[in-house]
Structures are given as C-alpha cells and as structure tokens.
Amino acid sequence: MDASSSDLARLLRVLAVRVLVLAVLVGITGTALLTIVFVLAGLGLLLASVDAAAEHRQDVP
C-alpha cells in the first residue's frame, strides 16, 4: 500500500466518522429514515475497499 492509498484510507475513515456522528445527531432529533441513511453511508465508507479505488485512479501507472 503506497502513500496515496493510505491517504485515501485515512480520508475515508474521517468521512465515515463524521457521517456517523451526523447520524447520531439526526437520530436524537427523531428522524428515523434519515438516521438509517446516514448510518448506512457511514458503514459503507468504513467498509469501502481502498485498493479497488486506487486501481481506478488516472495518475497511477
């Protein structure tokens, strides 16, 4: 895993944490459907494959 893949993995983790925190805040307000959407998006970001995303980059030889 090169530096760009580790940067991408770090970015995905940060975004996932932010989305999950947003899900908690929306959950407190009582909007169930929007909470489920944010939770699923956060889990998807946590489970996203960084290697598969790195293969589709244009600047990688």
Q: From residue 12, give the alpha-carbon distance in Å to each of 5, 9, 29, 38, 53.
A: 10, 5, 26, 14, 11
pLDDT of residue 48: 82
DSSP-derived secondary structure for 19-44: HHHHHHHHHHHT-HHHHHHHHHHHHH
Q: Using an 8 Å Cβ cutoff, are 42 and 27 in contact?
A: no
The structure's pTM equals 0.75
Calpha distance 15→42 (Å, rounded): 8
Residue 60 has pLDDT above 60, yes or no: no
Q: What is the pLDDT of residues 5-53, one digit of tens each?
A: 778 888 899 999 999 999 999 999 989 999 999 999 999 999 887 766 5
pLDDT of residue 49: 73
Residue 56 has pLDDT above 80, yes or no: no
Residue type, 32: A
pLDDT of residue 61: 54
